[in-house]
Amino acid sequence: MLDRRNSESSALWFAGALVVVHVQAQDSDGRVGVWESVESRGDRLPLHVHHREDEHVVLLEGQITFWVGNEIHHLNPRQTLALPRGVPHAHRVTSQQARILTVATPAGFERLFTDVGVPALPRTTAPPRPDDATLEAAVGLLGVQIVGPPPE
């Protein structure tokens, strides 16, 4: 689980995940955004394309399956994966829980969590996941296009 002792004010619920944004655009002169998320078994992202940033993920705990272009990657702890801009990708958590560190260059996409996320105060649970249309509109404002449902 995320160490929330030093991040109480920045822990957010977003689409069922607990997210802490560690580096925002204003912290890095727009160069990099960094966030950590804790997701549960079955959590998934739809197939989507980032048009503005490249992402790199580090799986800290758990197991996740990623679909990147025509490739499938089964990640275990301490493995990394590049998600280049312009290439459709999605993921699904296959372990009980997964903890993921994501680095995006340039920064900006982390605004999704800070603008739309709900503060994760102590002893709160995740609010309902936003419907697909709401999620699609929110990511669309940040240059991300949803191109399909999560792969099976």
Residue 4: its pLDDT value, please?
A: 40
| Residue 3 pLDDT > 60 | no
How would you classify residue 135: left for phi > 0, otherwise alpha for psi between -120 and 50, otherwise beta?
alpha
82 vs 45, residue with greater confidence: 82
Q: What is the pLDDT of residues 4-31, one digit of tens each?
A: 444 445 899 999 899 999 999 999 999 9
Residue 128: its pLDDT value, please?
A: 87
| Residue 150 pLDDT > 90 | no
Tell me how far CA of residue 114 lies from CA of 8, 77, 105, 108, 138, in angstroms.
14, 26, 17, 10, 12
pTM exceeds 0.75, yes or no? yes
Residue 6: its pLDDT value, please?
A: 44
CATH topology for the 8-148 domain:
Jelly Rolls (2.60.120)
Is residue 21 within 8 A of residue 110, CB to CB? The reply is: yes
Tell me how far CA of residue 19 lies from CA of 16, 51, 73, 105, 120, in angstroms.
9, 22, 23, 18, 9
Is residue 25 within 8 A of residue 111, CB to CB? The reply is: yes
Residue 9: its pLDDT value, please?
A: 53
| Residue 36 pLDDT > 50 | yes
Token pair recorded at residue 138: 């929110």
Residue 7: its pLDDT value, please?
A: 45
78 vs 122, residue with greater confidence: 78
Residue 18: its pLDDT value, please?
A: 95
Residue 21: its pLDDT value, please?
A: 96
- Rounded CA-CA distance 33/111 in Å is 9
| Residue 123 pLDDT > 90 | no
Domain ranges of the chain: 8-148
- Rounded CA-CA distance 26/23 in Å is 8
Q: What is the pLDDT of residues 60-111, one digit of tens each?
A: 999 999 999 999 999 999 999 999 999 999 999 999 999 999 999 999 999 9
Q: What is the mean pLDDT of residues 42-50?
A: 92
Q: How many helical (H) and strand (E) elements, i.e. helices and strands, does the chain have?
A: 2, 12
